[in-house]
Structure 1
Amino acid sequence: MTAERFEGDWDHIIVGAGSAGCVLANRLSADPRRRVLLMEAGGEARHPYLHVPAGFLKTFRDPRFNWNFATEPGPGVNGRTIHTPRGRVLGGSSAINGHLWVRGSARDFDDWAQAGCRGWSHADVLPHFRSLEDYRDDAHRGAGGPQHISDIPALHPIVADFLEGGAECGLARNPDYNGAAQEGVFTYQRSIRRGRRFSAASAFLAPVRHRANLRVVTGAQVLRIETAAGRAIGITFTRDGQTLTAHAAGDIVLAAGAIGSPQLLQVSGLGPAALSHALGVPVIADNPGVGENLQDHYAMRVVHRVTRPVTLNEQARPPRLWWEMARWLLTRRGMLAYSPAHAGAFVRSRDTLEEPDLQFVFTPASYSEEGVTGQLQDVPGMTIGVWQCRPESRGSVRATGADPRQAPAIQPNYLMAPEDRAAAVAGLRVARRLMGTRALAPWSAEETAPGPAQVSDDALLAYAQAKGSTVYHLCGTCRMGSDGAPVTPELRVRGIDALRVADASVMPRIVSANTNATTMMIAVKAAAMILGQPATTP
C-alpha cells in the first residue's frame, strides 16, 4: 500500500510513549517553537487495571496492554522460553510494572563514564534524577518534580518482622536506598500517588497534552525509519488500516525500549549489515552492535507457607476481596493500593565485595506461577525474590522479518556466565538466611520452594535454572559508548544524522536496580542535550 503523508510538519518525532517517550514529549514540547509528534502502538491508558496498583496482576499477560514477548529457548535455563511482558499502552511498561522506584548506585554511572560514556557519571546524572522526583528535597533527592514517589503507608506485620530479621542478619535499616548508599534493608519507594498508579503517562504526558505544539497518536505501529542523504527524515507507520508517513525537520528519537528500538533500527537498514541482507532490506548504515549486549536481571525465589491466614493470598479472594475493593474505592488504601514488593534489601554476598551484588524483594504473598509475580496461591504464603545486581551474561534481540509486527528473536542467555551461576546459588543461600530468622519464625510453617531437600550448590543451581525468570529489566541493545558502540554518548545513532535513541536500550551496563527510574533519567538528559540545556533541578 502506498504511504500517504501524515498531516503536519514536525520538528521532532518520538517513537514510543513509554517511560522515556512520555518524558521526552513533556520536555521537548516545553519549547513552544518545537512541534513534537509522539507515536504509540498501544492505546490510551483508561482501563481500571492500569490505575489500581494491584492491577499489575491483571495486566501481566493482557494483550490489550502488553506485547507479551517470549524469549528464545535458553541453554542456561533448561531450554525454557520465558514470558517477557512489555507495556503496549500510553506509559509503556511504567503502566504495567511493579511500581518500584530504584535508581541504582553511584558506581553504576561512574562505571558508565569510565567505560567511555563521558557526561554520564553519577555527578552528571544526579541533577537529572532530582529534576524527575517529587519525594524529598536534599542533596540526593528531588522535590516538586513531575514523578510522585511514595513510601508504603502501612507495614504488614510480616513485613515488619522481615525488617527485624534483616537486622538479625547484620543488615542496617536503610532509610533511603536511593540516597547516599544502597546497602541495607528497607521498605520500597513506589510510583504510586494517593493510592493510584502514577505512570510516566500520568506524570509527564497528562499535564501537557493540551499543548498546541504536541500531538499524541495512539494505535500507530511504526514500520521503518525513512532516510535520505545520510539523514533520518521521517517514519512510515500504520494506523486504522492506512500506511502513512510523517517527516521531521529535527531529531527523530527512538524510545521504543530494549526490544522495539533495536528491532526498528534493524528493519530500517540501520543495524548489522548481515542481518539487513537476511531481512531483505537495504543497508543504510552497518551498525553491528544494534541488538547485541542484551542484559536483564534473572530472579529466583524462596517461598514459605505461612502459619496463619493473614497474607495477601487470602485478601485477594472473595469475600475479603470485595471488602478490599470497597476500601480502595472509598479511601484509596488497602491491599489494592500495594506494590507487589513491600520491602527489600541490597546485600553483599561476601564481605570482600565493595558494593552489594544482590537485590531482594519481599512480599507477604506467594505465587503459583514461575517467576516473581503471577497468580496468588490458595494457601497463606510469603516470598523473597533475589537477583544478581550486575549479571555478566549477554544476549541479543534480532528482527525475524522486515515487518516489525513480527516478533523478534529475544535471547537473553540467562545464567550462561559462570559468575551468574555462582551468584544465583549465593543469592538463594542469603535469601534462605533472611527467611530463616527468629523474627520470621512465628510466621513460617515450612519452605515450599526450593524445598528443604535442595541443599547442595548443584541442587540450588538446578532449581534456579528450572524455576527462575526475568524481572523485566531488559536493556543494553543499543549500547552507547565511544568504542564503536552503535550509539554515541550524545545518544546519536552512528552512521546516520538526526536520529537518536533514548531509552533503556542505550545502557552500556545494567544498573544495580530496577530500570524504570534510570530510563526516565536517560530521557531527561536526552531532552536537555537536544534542547541545549544544562542539567537543572526544580
Structure 2
Amino acid sequence: MSTYDYVIVGAGSAGCVLAARLSEDPSVQVAVIEAGGPDTAQEIHVPVTFAQLFKSELDWDLDSDPEPGLGGRRTYLPRGRTFGGSSSMNAMIYIRGNRADYDSWASAGATGWSYADVLPYFRRSEDNERGEDEFHGVGGPLTVSDGRSGHPLASAFVEAAEQAGYKANDDFNGETQFGVGRYQLTQRGGMRCSTALAYLHPALECPNLTVLSSARAHRVVIEGDRATSVEVERGGTVEVVRAEREVILSAGAYESPKLLMLSGIGPAAALSAFGIEVVRDLPVGQGMQDHYMALLNFRTDVESLISAASPENAALLQSEGRGALTSNLAEVGGFFRSRDDLEAPDVQFHAAPVLFHQEGLGPVTEHGFAFGPCVLAPTSRGAVTLRSPRPDVAPRIVHNHLTTAEDRDCIVAGIRIALEIAAQPAVAEVATGTFDAPESDAEILAWAKRSGQTLYHPTSTCAIGAVVDPELRVFDVAGLRVADASVFPTVPRGNTNAPTIMVAEKAADLIRGSGAAAPR
C-alpha cells in the first residue's frame, strides 16, 4: 500500500490544478490517479485537430441512454481520457459564465460562491495577453489569448449578426456578456494551453507529486465515517492508495458520481439494488444539467478549414503561431436573450468555419460553415446512475434535454435568431446553399430534436447543497471532497472549462485553509 497526504482522482481540468496547488507545499505528498496516459498526441496540441480525438483511445467515448426529449435518440458524449482531461480535447473557449450564475448560487445557500467571491480565483489562474484590469489577471498559469486564425467565414457570422442589430462585444468575460464577437481561448503561441500544460507539467518537477497513470479508480474506501484510501486497478493489479489527509474526487460530472455510488454514497434504494452497502444516502448523480446545441450548416465556395492541413499553414503555425491550424473551430459567437424581460442571456451561439454535423462525427467532404444556439440556462435536469456495480462499466446517463417547455421555447427562439442572422448580406454573400437546417418555421423544433447535440458541459451531479457543503466536503464523510464541474449547483451561462478551473483553485485554498491570494 502506497501512502500520501492527498490523493486526487482524475488529472483533468480540475485535478491538474489541485495537483499543482497542493504540491506547492513541500511538506506534503500528493498523488494523482489518472485513467489515461500522458498528453503526447499531436492532435491534442494543434488546435484545429481536436475533433480527431473523438472516439479515439483518448476519449471515454460515452453515450447517453435514450433521451425522452429527443424522441428516444442516444447522444454521443466525448470526454478526455489523458492528462488534462477534457481541457486536452475541448474547443479552448475561455468563458466564465455570468455574474448572475454565481450570485444565484450564493443566494441559494452556496456561501462563498458569489461572483465577488470567485472573481479573484478566475483572475489568479489567468495570464491574459491583453493585460490586467478589473476583470482579468496576468501572471497565472493559464494562458488566455485572442484567436490567431481570424477565418473569413467566422468573420462573416459576426458581421451578419451586427447587420441584424446585435451589438459587438470584445470581452464576454467583462462588464456584459451580451453581443457578438471573437472568443478568447486557452492557447499559448497558437497552441492549446490545457491544464496539463499550464499546471501539471510544471508541477511534475516537484519531488512530492506522483502521477499514477493508466490507473482506474474502482472506489473510495470508507472506514467508519472517514474516507481513507482509493482502490485502484493498474496493469491488471488492484492496489490501495492511502490518503492520510483527504481523498479528492476530480473525475468529472459523469465519473465522480459513479465513484461515489460504487463507494456506497448515493441514493440508498438504487445502491441496494446492486448489492452495494449504503454508507450515506445522498442524491448523488441527480440534478445533472448540460447545454443543448443545434448548429445550422451551410455550403460555401469559400475555402473552409477542411484544407487547413497544408504545408503553408504548418509553416505559419511553426514560425508565427497563427493561421488555420490554430483555429479552435468555434472561433466566434455571442450571447442573446430569447425574451425581452430577461436580465441575463439564455442563448449562446458558436460559429465555425467548417461543417460540423452529426454531433461532430459526420463526414466533411465539402466546404461549409456552421453556427447556431444552445440553451444556456436550461430548466431540465438529468441524472447519472449506475448500470452495473462493476467499475469498468459506463454509467447510465440521461440529460433530459428539451423535456421542459421553457427549454423547447428557448431552442426555437435561438434557431429563429440563427435564421435571422443567416438572412443578412454578410452570410448570404458566402453561403451557396443549405447543408443541414430547418426547412420551415413549423419544422424548427423537430429539426432541433433530430440534429442537436450536447455542448459537452455536464455539471451538477454532486452539487453544493445536495451532496457537498460549500467547502466541497461530502456530507457526513470526513476526509472526502469533490472538486470539479459536478459541484456546480447549476450549469453556468457559458463554456464550463474556466469555471471548473476556478473551482479547483478555490478548492485548493479550502483544503489548505487559506483565502484567495490578492489578485495580481
Distance 1:221 1:124 in 2: 34
- Given the alignment, which residue of 336, 349, 352 partners 1:363? 352
2:94 to 92, 101, 114: 101
Q: After the TM superposition, which residues 191-206 of structure 1 pair with which residues of structure 2 at under 5 Å, given as runs? A: 191-206=186-201
Q: TM-score, normalised by structure 1?
A: 0.94
The structure-2 alpha-carbon separation of the partners of 1:222 and 1:154, relative to structure 1 and needing over 3 Å to count, comes to: closer
Please give the TM-score of this superposition, normalised by the length of structure 2. Answer: 0.97
Q: Distance in 2 between matches of 1:220 and 1:331?
A: 38
Partner of 2:280, secondary structure, is: coil
- The AA in structure 2 aligned to 1:471 is L
Match status 1:237 vs 2:229? no
| Deviations 1:184-240 (CA, angstroms, capped at 9, x unpaired) | 111011111112111100000011101111111101101111111200001110101
Show the counterpart of 1:299: 293
Contact kept, 8 Å, 1:267 with 1:401, in 2: the verdict is no
Aligned-residue offset at 1:284: 1.1
* Counterpart-to-counterpart distance in 1, 2:54 and 2:319: 26
Consecutive unaligned residues in structure 2, runs of 5 or more: none
Q: Structure 1 residues 14, 530: CA separation in 2 closer, same or farther (over 3 Å shift)?
A: same
Provide the aligned length of Structure 1 versus Structure 2. Answer: 517
Per-residue deviation at 1:376?
5.4
Cα RMSD (Å): 1.4
Query: Of residues 453, 457, 461 in structure 2, which corresponds to 1:469?
Result: 453
- Map of 1:110 onto structure 2: 103
* Amino acid corresponding to residue 175 of structure 2 in structure 1: A
Which residues in structure 2 correspond to 1:97-496 (within 5 Å)? 97-135=90-128, 136-287=131-282, 289-306=283-300, 308-313=301-306, 315-316=307-308, 321-367=310-356, 369-371=357-359, 373-375=360-362, 377-451=364-438, 453-456=439-442, 459-481=443-465, 485-496=466-477
Distance in 1 separating the partners of 2:58 and 2:187:
19
The Cα shift of 1:154 comes to 4.5
- Partner secondary structure for residue 258 of structure 1: helix
How far 1:440 sits from its partner (Å)?
2.0
Partner in structure 2 of residue 91 of structure 1: 84
Q: Which amino acid aligns with 2:513?
A: G
Distance in 2, Cα, partners of 1:267 & 1:161: 49
Shift of 1:322: 4.3
2:22–2:30: 8 Å Cα contact kept in structure 1? yes
Q: 2:7 aligns with which of 4, 9, 13?
A: 13
The aligned amino acid for 1:80 is R
Secondary structure of 1:90's counterpart equals coil
Q: Secondary structure of 1:249's partner?
A: strand
- The residue that corresponds to 1:50 in the other structure is 44
* Cα distance, 1:375 vs structure 2: 4.5
- Runs of 4+ aligned residues of structure 1 deviating over 6 Å after TM superposition are none
* CA distance, structure 2, for counterparts of residue 243 and residue 404 of structure 1: 12
After TM superposition, the structure 1 = structure 2 runs for residues 495-510 of structure 1, keeping only pairs within 5 Å, are 495-510=476-491
User: For residues 454-500 of structure 1, what are the alpha-carbon distances to aligned partners after superposition, in whole Å with 9 as ceiling and x for unaligned?
Assistant: 222xx11100111111111001000112xxx1111110101211100
* Partner AA of 1:205 in structure 2: L
Say whether the 8 Å CA contact 1:302–1:385 is kept in structure 2: yes
Does the 8 Å CA contact 2:329/2:353 hold for their aligned counterparts? no
The equivalent residue for 1:516 is: 497
| Percent identical residues | 40
Aligned mate of 1:38, from 19, 22, 32: 32
Give distance in 2, aligned partners of 1:73 and 1:88.
24
Of 151-160 and 176-185, the range deviating more from structure 2: 151-160
Matches of 1:312 and 1:214 in 2, distance apart?
40
Q: Return the match for 2:64 from 64, 68, 71.
A: 71
State the distance in 2 between where 1:435 and 1:192 align: 29
Are 1:344 and 1:359, in contact at CA under 8 Å, matched by a contact in 2?
A: yes
Query: 1:439 Cα shift?
Result: 2.1
Give the distance between the partners of 1:219 and 1:377, measured in 2 at CA.
33
**Following the alignment from structure 2 to structure 1, what is the Cα–Cα distance between the partners of residues 437 and 159?**
23
Contact 2:153 2:302 in 1 (8 A): no
Q: Which runs of 5+ in 1 are unaligned?
A: none
Shift of 1:448: 2.9
Which one is further off, 440-449 or 264-273? 440-449
User: What residue identity is the alignment partner of 2:206?
Assistant: R
Shift of 1:378: 2.1
Preserved contact between residue 148 and residue 321 of structure 2 (Cα < 8 Å): no
Q: Is the 8 A contact 1:234 1:252 kept in 2?
A: yes
Distance in structure 2 (CA, Å) of the matches to 1:257 and 1:422: 29
Work out the CA distance in 1 between the residues paired with 2:281 and 2:177.
Answer: 40
Whichever residue aligns with residue 117 of structure 1, its letter is A
Whether the 8 Å CA contact 2:333–2:349 is kept in 1: the answer is yes
SS at match of 1:14: strand
